[in-house]
Amino acid sequence: MRSSTFLYALPLAALAVSAAQVNPRSHKSRFHRRSSPPLPQGNTPGPVLLRSFAQSQGLAYVQGDNTAVMTVDNYSDLSEGENRNSVRIQSKTTISTGLVIADIFDMPHGCSVWPSLWQVGPNWPAGGEIDIIEGVNNLQLNQMTVHSSEGCTLDKNPPATTVNNTTGKVEAFTSNIIATGCATTATSNAGCAFQDPSTQSYGTGFNDIAGGVFASLVQDSGIQIWRFPRYAIPSDITSQNPDPTTWGAPSAYWSSSSCDISSHFYNMNVVFDITLCGDWAGSAYSQTCGGSKGGASSCAAQVTQASNYKYASWKINYVAIYQ
Ligand SMILES: *[C@@H]1O[C@H](CO)[C@@H](O)[C@H](O)[C@H]1NC(C)=O
Ligand SMILES: *[C@@H]1O[C@H](CO)[C@@H](O)[C@H](O)[C@H]1NC(C)=O
Ligand SMILES: *[C@@H]1O[C@H](CO)[C@@H](O)[C@H](O)[C@H]1NC(C)=O
């Protein structure tokens, strides 16, 4: 990546902003919604609000220290069934092969909260989707998932090229595989996924160490995601001269040995969003938040109280795209 081009970094002004009312919505409509507004109505997300509205309501802004903040409305108490405003931000730039680096101080978390940092191509699932950060409720481990059109799977034993300098072992990736079918079908949209074994990868554990850097590299040979805690960010990233060949094994790796990358992943936007409830946070709610676990009796009841969204914010140092 030494010869790559630095395209842009946040501030927010470089990005398109939209605020959406997001509760409740189905996992599927979440993806339909991803193409672009205007959105279908019905069992879908609420209306898309304008960038100026999101900014005037304090849902997206840049702090004095240049940290970009995106947040759920954390000051309005609502009746059950009313929508709570949230934010989605999407890059104007699209990329096919290339490297996305996101330096994040804080990610949203808490009961009913479903944040994601992802890349998504056109005509979903044709242009592909790479979920770099994703989780729900009080989970502590980040999930990294690829969704694609037919003909793409996750190779569990790809050719490994990276020697771990501590153990001497050759490694292809360091996270745990949780699903291998990448193609989205009429009956399943689970995708092929890895779970990071570290509690520093998501939610409070990530925020407690002031976050860190996620890097997503798409090449014809495969897709790789690295995570670096703030105390161990490689200097070549900080100096804006990233060289992934020096980073060691990635957290997650989808090899081209079982998926033709260039035909399944192209022209992707980079997106941050914060969903409330919906298929994943809603269906996992009773296990992870209900009863004695700290949340209200249901996901919909959780949404009514502004005080439940104290920690539902992205705080971003910068995003850089190299290609
Ligand atoms: C090397 O292996 C050790 C022990 O499993 C692990 O803690 C460390 O993160 C690995 N290093 C890299 C760069 O993957
Ligand atoms: C591992 O060791 C090799 C050879 O000394 C070095 O080039 C590489 O940068 C090291 N990688 C890491 C992740 O420390
Ligand atoms: C709402 O979120 C913003 C951004 O994280 C934070 O600065 C503010 O203190 C929060 N307000 C409340 C009432 O929690």
β-sheet with 176-179: strand ranges across: 48-49, 15-21, 85-91, 269-276, 113-120, 129-134, 143-147, 192-195, 176-179
Q: Is 176 strand, coil or helix?
A: strand
Closest atom of ligand 2 to 165 CA is 1
Where do the structural domains in the chain lie, given as residue ranges? 12-322
Closest residue to atom 1 of ligand 2, CA basis: 165
* CA distance linking residue 111 with residue 99, whole number of Å: 32
**Token pair for 9:** 């970094």
pLDDT tens-place values along the chain, 323 residues long: 333 333 333 333 333 333 333 333 333 323 323 323 322 222 234 555 667 777 888 899 999 999 999 999 999 999 998 889 998 888 888 999 999 999 999 999 999 999 999 999 999 999 999 999 999 999 999 999 999 999 999 999 998 878 888 888 888 999 999 999 999 987 788 899 999 999 999 999 999 999 999 999 999 999 999 999 999 999 999 999 999 999 999 999 999 999 999 999 999 999 999 999 988 998 899 999 988 888 999 999 999 999 999 999 999 999 999 98
pLDDT of residue 50: 66
Pocket of ligand 1 (CB under 6 A): 164, 166-167, 174, 248-249
Residue in the structure block whose two tokens are 């990530």 = 206
* CA distance linking residue 266 with residue 262, whole number of Å: 6
CB 246, CB 219: distance < 8 Å: no
Phi, psi of 32, deg, nearest 5: -60, -45
Ligand nearest to the CA of 173: 1
* CA distance linking residue 120 with residue 96, whole number of Å: 10
* CA distance linking residue 52 with residue 58, whole number of Å: 10
Confirm whether 134 is a catalytic residue. Answer: yes
Q: Which pTM does this prediction carry?
A: 0.86
- For 55, 88, 236, 296, the CA distances from 307, given in Å and listed in that order, are 20, 21, 40, 12
* CA distance linking residue 123 with residue 128, whole number of Å: 9
Closest residue to atom 10 of ligand 3, CA basis: 310
Q: Domain 12-322 is in which class?
A: mainly beta
Confirm whether 150 is a catalytic residue. Answer: no
